Amino acid sequence: MANVAITGAARGIGLELANQHLALGDRVFALVRDPAAAERLNALAAGSGGLLSVHAMDVRDDASVRAGAASTGDAPIDILYNVAGITGTAEPELEGADWAAFDDALNIMLKGPLRVLQAFLPRLHNGARIINFSSQLAASGWPYGGYYAYGAAKAGMARMMRSVAIDLRERGIVVGIIHPGYVQTDMGGPAADITPEESARAIRKLTAEWPLDRSGDFYKWNGEPHAW
């Protein structure tokens, strides 16, 4: 049995990861901004026999992250999934940007994963995995415009986590960066390529097999290396 912490677990891929790890008999700490609104997650927890618990954590707020991590106890964490994110503004903002929304995207998707990592770091051990959700939009080869804040946040997070991977390598902690695919979630929409179940299943496999000598690398959900 693994101890698994998941941010953004109320919906989409985060919720499906919680469901799949629960089905494997893992202990799941589901971290969400508003537990009261996470109806599907709460229903999953109610039938889990105590294996899944729901915890409040707003990744944009230092105190909330520390309190949320503390509420999960002191058990070692085997897998930490940094999933929480927002889409932000899709259209080009050449004539003017919503800076409050831009800052919110950076706070959630760039600073947020580092806050969460710091809060759980004392409980991460040799062989633990930190899996960070980036995006194909973060790669320099992405051929479209728009999504300024989203792309900047995901690219910055990926580069930051490459540095984190170097700094944690001597502890034996694997840091992964993943493009989860174009997934049929609230963010991706119903016309996306794959289901949350397909994405989560492949990500679990990739996570389990990720070697320390590839820590800090960027992969697609299906295990293929993703060009930067």
Least confident of 80-84, 94-98, 164-168, 216-220: 94-98
Helix (H) or strand (E) holding 137: none
Q: Above pLDDT 70, what percent of the chain? A: 96
Single out the residue of 207, 181, 177 nearest to residue 195, CA to CA. 181
Residues listed for the chain: 228
Give the HSE-up count for residue 220: Cα atoms under 13 Å, Cβ half-sphere.
Answer: 12
Q: Where are the domains of the chain?
A: 3-220
Matching CATH number, 3-220, of 3.30.70.260, 3.40.50.720, 2.40.170.20, 3.40.630.30: 3.40.50.720
Instruction: Give the type of residue at 212.
Output: L
Q: Specify the pTM.
A: 0.95
Instruction: Give the type of residue at 60.
Output: R
Question: Model confidence over 58-114: pLDDT tens digits?
Answer: 999 999 999 999 999 999 999 999 999 998 888 899 989 999 999 999 999 999 999
CB-based contact 56:64 (threshold 8 Å): yes
Cα three-residue angle 135-121-211, rounded to 5 degrees: 55
Question: Model confidence over 46-70: pLDDT tens digits?
Answer: 999 999 999 999 999 999 999 999 9
Return the structure tokens found at 172. 């034996």
How does 134-145 read in b/e, with b if 16+ C-beta sit within 10 Å?
A: bbbbbbeeeeee
Strand, helix or coil at 65? Answer: helix
Inform me whether the pLDDT recorded for 188 exceeds 80: no
Inform me whether the pLDDT recorded for 187 exceeds 70: no
